[in-house]
Structure 1
Amino acid sequence: MFTGIVEILGKVVDIAPLDSTDSGGSGFSITIGDATEILGDCHLGDSIAVNGTCLTVTEFSASTFKVGVAPETLRKTNLGSLKVGDAVNLERAMNAHTRFGGHMVQGHVDTTVSIVSREDDGNAITFVFRVPAEYADLMDYIVPKGFICLDGTSLTVIDVDDKERTFSIMMIAYTQTRVVMPRRAIGGLVNIEVDMMGKYASKGVESMIKRFLEGDDGETMVAKALDRVLAKRAAASQ
């Protein structure tokens, strides 16, 4: 679990294909440098989010660490387009003493979204993104003033256009110097993870509706929920 508060920018120093004898299976290994600041307490098997993607440390030194990237991860994220020298957002997994400054981020990227536009607004930048048509259902979980995780950065949604499948965020000057997004061009791909709490809420409502449509068990569940709401309302009015 992560917070979406990027700790440092690392740099890709090596990319190599994995064979069946390497850790991580088929796919690629990525070695990331300039990471001394987050490796003081590192252990093999630890999770580090790279551009918002939860990956497992398979090797590390004082300043570098290596991760394996599986084919499914390459399909879902922008990690497959990385080149040696590219900067990447890095965040260690949370521990019990972490300040929870962002929001609950799993590091399980849903897909990539493209940058439609960027506009300077004083010392801030407003970015607009478009969700791919095949992932249009993700728009159900993107709401104004809600959480969104982009390349591992916890941000607040400004506006949403469900018809155009677009949403916008504003990035302040402080954040601009500490994450990779301002380096991306129009049309560039950004990893997105929607708020998982929205997914759980949606799943619960869908389950209730399904049970309601399928028979008495669902009707009983809805009736109990309604009774609880009415009881709370009655108590509040006393």
Structure 2
Amino acid sequence: MFTGIVEILGSIIDIAPLDSSESGGQGFSITVGNAAEILTDCHLGDSIAINGTCLTVTQFDASSFKVGVAPETLRKTNLGSLKVGDAVNLERAMNAHTRFGGHMVQGHVDTTVSILSRTDDGNAITFVFQVPEEYKELMNYIVPKGFICLDGTSLTVIDVDDVKRTFSIMMIAYTQTRVVMPTKALGDQVNVEVDMMGKYASKGVEAMIKRFLDGEEGEGMVAKVLDRVLAKRASTTN
């Protein structure tokens, strides 16, 4: 679990599409450098979020660490497009003594969204993002003034347009110097994780409504509503 408060910016120092080393496991691996600040208490198997993606440390030294990236993760995130030298947002998994400055972030990226526009507003920047058509159901969990996690950064949603599948956030000057998003161009992909509390609430309500409608109580309620509608129409006709 994470808070969405980026600790430091690391940099990619190696990418191995088929890492045959013991720590690579014959899969895709990424090695991140300039990370000494968050490795003082690191252990093998620890979770570190790279651009908001929860990954497992398979090897580390004083200033760098390696993670393996599963095929599903490559499909859902922007990690596969990273290049050596790219900066990445880093956050260690939260501990019991962490101040909860962001929101509950799992590090389980839903998909990537594209940067549609960026507009300076005083010393802040307003970014507008578009959700892909095939993931339009995610708009159900994006609400004005709600939480959203973008490349591992906890941010507040400003506006939402469900028809255009867009939403916006505003980034203050302090955050701009401590995360990767201001360095990205229009059209670039950003990892998005919608608020998981919205997902749980939605699934719970859907399940409750389904049980209600499938049960005798639900059938009775539907019958009553139909009776009222028919009675109202009959009285209007007469």
The number of aligned residues is 220
* Pair 1:53–1:219, CA change in 2 (3 A): farther
User: Amino acid of the residue matched to residue 48 of structure 1?
Assistant: I
Q: State the SS of the aligned residue for 2:49.
A: strand
Counterpart residue number, 1:224: none
Task: Report the TM-score when normalising by structure 1.
Answer: 0.89
* Pair 1:145–1:25, CA change in 2 (3 A): same
Task: Measure the CA separation in 1 of the matches of 2:42 and 2:78.
Answer: 25
User: Amino acid of the residue matched to residue 118 of structure 1?
Assistant: R
User: Amino acid of the residue matched to residue 80 of structure 2?
Assistant: G
Task: Give how far 1:213 is off.
Answer: 1.4
Task: Give how far 1:22 is off.
Answer: 4.2
What are the equivalent positions in structure 2 for 1:217-236 lying under 5 Å apart?
none
Q: Is structure 2 residue 152 aligned with structure 1 residue 152?
A: yes
Q: Is structure 2 residue 77 aligned with structure 1 residue 84?
A: no
Q: State the SS of the aligned residue for 2:54.
A: strand
User: Amino acid of the residue matched to residue 157 of structure 2?
Assistant: V
Counterpart residue number, 1:137: 137
Task: Measure the CA separation in 2 of the matches of 1:175 and 1:169.
Answer: 12
Counterpart residue number, 1:193: 193
Give 5+ residue unaligned stretches, structure 2.
221-238
What are the equivalent positions in structure 2 for 1:1-238 lying under 5 Å apart?
1-18=1-18, 22-23=22-23, 25=25, 27-216=27-216
Task: Report the TM-score when normalising by structure 2.
Answer: 0.89
Task: Measure the CA separation in 2 of the matches of 1:89 and 1:201.
Answer: 29
Q: State the SS of the aligned residue for 1:43.
A: coil
User: Amino acid of the residue matched to residue 128 of structure 1?
Assistant: V
CA contact (8 A) 1:4 1:153 kept: yes
Task: Measure the CA separation in 1 of the matches of 2:19 and 2:172.
Answer: 42
How big is the alpha-carbon RMSD for the aligned residues of Structure 1 and Structure 2?
Answer: 1.6
User: Amino acid of the residue matched to residue 62 of structure 1?
Assistant: A
Runs of 4+ in 1 over 6 A off after TM superposition: 217-220
Task: Give how far 1:215 is off.
Answer: 1.0
For each residue in 1:64-90, what CA deviation from the matched residue of structure 2 results, as whole angstroms up to 9, or x when unmatched?
Answer: 000000110000000000000000000
